[in-house]
Structure 1
C-alpha cells in the first residue's frame, strides 16, 4: 500500500475569512488509481445481497457489524482483518460478520476526525493522503473476503468509497440531516440509521421513510463538479438502537414498543442493536452483556432483531493520541479486545446452532 494521490496546489485564498482551499483529487481519479478487480466487485455485490437477504428475512443468519471504533493504524487494522476473516469462516453458518472500516469520526466539539481527515495523527489534516490510505485499507480488507462497513459523515467523501461498502451507518448526530437522508436514498447498499442521542427513534424512522423515496438534490459528480443528483430511493434501510441520554433501549420492552411502532407505520421491522454507546453505559467491557441479552430475545422468537454491532479492536480499552501509542488499542471509543470478541461470537454461534428448528 504505497500509492498516493496528492492534493493539488493551493488554488484560492478567501480574503473575507482567510480560509485556505486545497483541491482534492476527484472520486473518479482515486477509483482509477486504486480500482477494484472484477472479482472483488462481484464479491462486494454478493456481500450486499447477503445483507439484503438478512434484512428481508430470506437469510436467517445474524448480521454482526464488528471492528474498531475507528481505524488509526494500518498495521493493526490489517491484523484485525486477518483474525476476523478466520472467525467469519468459523461462524458463517449462523452469522454474517461485517468489518467496521470507520475512517470518519463525528466530534461533539473538536478532536481527531478520523483516518480520512488526519492520517498522520498530528493535526496536519492531509486529507488527500487520508482518502488514499483509507481506500487502500478497505480494499485490503475486501481481499481477505470480508464485507466492510463504515459510517458516512461527510457526504462528499462517500464517492471515494461507495463501490467498496456492503453496509453503511448514518450516525445519531446526522440521522436528522436532510442531506444525509438524500445521500442514503442513492446508495446501492443497506443503510442503518441510528436513533437520536436522546434515545428517541422518531428521527431515525423519519430518515428511513425519507431515504426510501427518490430525491433530486445538490451534490458532486464523480469528476468533482457540482451536479444535480437524482436518486431512486433505497429500500434497504433499517433502524439501529444505540441508547440515549436516558439510558439503554435494547431491553425487551423497548424493542417490543419500537417493533409495534414500525409495524403501525407500515415500515419493515428490521432492528439492529449497537452494543456500545449508551446501551453499554459507554463501558466497552459490558458489550457482551448487551449482546447476549439481545441474542436471547432473538432465540425466543423476536425476528425483528436482525443484527448487532460491536466495537472491538485487537486489545481492549482506549487511549489518547500521543507520541507513543499502544499497538492495537483504540484512540477513540473504548473497544472490546479481540480475544473476548472471538469467544463471544463463537459461543453465540453455538447457541444459535442449538436453537430448535422452526
Structure 2
C-alpha cells in the first residue's frame, strides 16, 4: 500500500540515484518512518484542508499539486486492485480516506485527543509485521524533512557570504591565539524569534562594527536553538510560529535565510549548536559556535565539536564547574567516530580530525558570577594544566556577561561589561573576548505568536537595549585602545 504525502513546490533529490525531479512529478522513495504515527500529521493536514491523503503503510508516494488524476489511478491500482469492466474491484483493499464520513471520524477523534487511526480501522504497519506492542509506543508522529543538501541548494551562500565566513573564522582564531590584540565581541539577541527584527539589529550592528573594527572583532549572536532547564519555547528552528505547531521544516529555512541576511550586512554569525543534526543545515554560514552549559559534559556535543569547521566555545557547567568545560575542550581536540548523517540525509559513521580551536567560556552559575579577576586566573590555571600549550584555550577565555554573571538582569549585565572594559584598559590578561545579550528593546516579554509581541524585544532572557549596547561597544573599543598605550 502507498502513502500519499503533499509536499510544497521545490526539488526532490533521490539520494540513491543522485537524480533530481520536480515535485510536480510522482517520486517513489522508501518510507523511513513508522507509518502508523506518520498518519497523524496526514490527518492534521486533512483537517486543515491542506491536502487529501491516504494512510501510509509502506513506501511513500510524494505528490505535487498537478497529479490528482495520476494519484487517483495509482491509488486505484495499489489500494483497490484492478477493476473489472463492471467497475468492481478484483480484490478488496483498504480504501483511501477521502469519504466525508471518514474525514468526520478523523476530525472527531482528533478533537477528542485520540489517534485518528483508531477511528478509521486502518491497519497499522506495526500490526502487519507483528511488532505493534514494542515499537514507537511513545512517538506521536515522524514527519520527513528535506535533506541538508536540498536546503543548502535552495538557499545557497553566494561567494561574498562564503568569503565573510572563511575570513571571519580566521580572524576569530587569530584573536583566540593572541595573534590579534582586538577584543572578540559576540553580541546579539538571546534568541532569534523574529527574523525581521534580527536583521534590523544586524543592520545597526554593522555600522558600529565599521566604526570600531580597529579595536573590536564583532560577531553577531544569532541563536536558533534554546536548551531549556525544564520546558519552554525551544527556538526558531523548533517552533518558528511560537504557537506549539513545531514546523521544523519552516524553521530550518527561516534560520538559514536569517544567517544569509546577517552575512549580507557584512557580519559574521555565532550560534549555539544544540541538536546534533541541525549543523548540517546551517553550519556553513556560522563563524563561531557554542556548546551550552547544559551540554558541556555531553559526549554527543563534544564529538560534534570535534568535527566543526569553526572555533567552538565550551561554557562552564550550570553548577559552575570550569573543569567540565576544560574536559570538553580536551575531548573535542581528539579524533572521534560516531553516528551522524551526511548532506543527503543518510545515516553514516562520521570520523573527525579533532578541533584544536575550542576554548572556555565563563558564564557564571547557580552559585553566582565568575567573571572577576580571581575566577579568570583560576580558570586559566585549570586550562593550562590540561590543554596543550599550542591550543586556543591556553591563550585566554571568553566571558559571558549575561546568565549567571549578571543574574539575567540587563542592567547588571551592562555593569559587568563596564567592569571588564576597565580591567582590559588596565592591561589584565586572559580575556580574549566577551559575550553580550542585546536586542533593539531592553528587557524581555512572554513568548507568544509574533503578531502579539513587542517588536525587537526578547522572548527568552532579558537583553540590553540598542542605545546602551552602542555605548558599551564604544567603551570596549576605548578600553582596547587604552591597553595598547600602556
TM-score interval, normalised by the smaller of the two chains = over 0.9
Partner SS state of residue 13, structure 1: helix
1:1-358 matched pairs, under 5 angstroms: 11=33, 12-14=35-37, 15=132, 16-267=137-388, 268-322=394-448, 324-357=452-485
- Equivalenced residue count is 356
Partner SS state of residue 155, structure 1: coil
Partner SS state of residue 203, structure 2: helix
Q: Match of 2:86?
A: none
Residues 1:209 and 1:4: Cα distance change in structure 2 (over 3 Å): farther
| Equivalent residues of 1:66, 1:310 under 8 A apart | yes
Residues 1:332 and 1:26: Cα distance change in structure 2 (over 3 Å): same
Residues 1:161 and 1:4: Cα distance change in structure 2 (over 3 Å): farther
Unaligned runs of 5+ in 2: 1-7, 13-22, 24-30, 38-131, 389-393
Partner SS state of residue 285, structure 1: helix
Unaligned runs of 5+ in 1: none
Instruction: Point out which structure has higher relative CO (alpha carbons under 8 A, 6+ apart).
Output: 1
Residue deviations 1:243-293 (CA, integer Å, cap 9, x gap): 011100011111111122222224414210000011002211111211122
Deviation at 1:18, TM superposition (A): 4.7
| Equivalent residues of 2:182, 2:480 under 8 A apart | no
The more displaced of 266-275 and 182-191 is 266-275
The more displaced of 277-286 and 139-148 is 277-286
Deviation at 1:37, TM superposition (A): 1.1
Q: Provide the C-alpha distance between the structure 1 equivalents of 2:329 and 2:386, rounded to a whole number of angstroms.
A: 11
Q: TM-score, normalised by structure 1?
A: 0.95
| Equivalent residues of 1:185, 1:232 under 8 A apart | yes
Partner SS state of residue 167, structure 2: helix
Q: Provide the C-alpha distance between the structure 1 equivalents of 2:36 and 2:316, rounded to a whole number of angstroms.
A: 40
Deviation at 1:145, TM superposition (A): 0.3
Residues 1:62 and 1:18: Cα distance change in structure 2 (over 3 Å): closer
Deviation at 1:349, TM superposition (A): 1.2
Q: Provide the C-alpha distance between the structure 2 equivalents of 1:6 and 1:247, rounded to a whole number of angstroms.
A: 51
Residues 1:169 and 1:4: Cα distance change in structure 2 (over 3 Å): farther
Q: Provide the C-alpha distance between the structure 2 equivalents of 1:186 and 1:266, rounded to a whole number of angstroms.
A: 18
RMSD of the TM alignment (CA)? 1.9
| Equivalent residues of 1:105, 1:113 under 8 A apart | yes
| Equivalent residues of 1:196, 1:203 under 8 A apart | yes
Q: TM-score, normalised by structure 2?
A: 0.71
Partner SS state of residue 291, structure 1: helix
Q: Match of 2:112?
A: none
Q: Provide the C-alpha distance between the structure 2 equivalents of 1:74 and 1:245, rounded to a whole number of angstroms.
A: 31
Deviation at 1:42, TM superposition (A): 1.6
Residue deviations 1:90-149 (CA, integer Å, cap 9, x gap): 110000111011011011111110000111111100000000011001001001100000
Residues 1:255 and 1:6: Cα distance change in structure 2 (over 3 Å): farther
Residues 1:68 and 1:24: Cα distance change in structure 2 (over 3 Å): same
Q: Provide the C-alpha distance between the structure 1 equivalents of 2:479 and 2:218, rounded to a whole number of angstroms.
A: 16
Q: Provide the C-alpha distance between the structure 2 equivalents of 1:264 and 1:109, rounded to a whole number of angstroms.
A: 35
- Mark the structure with the bigger radius of gyration: 2
Partner SS state of residue 189, structure 1: coil
Q: Provide the C-alpha distance between the structure 1 equivalents of 2:373 and 2:416, rounded to a whole number of angstroms.
A: 12
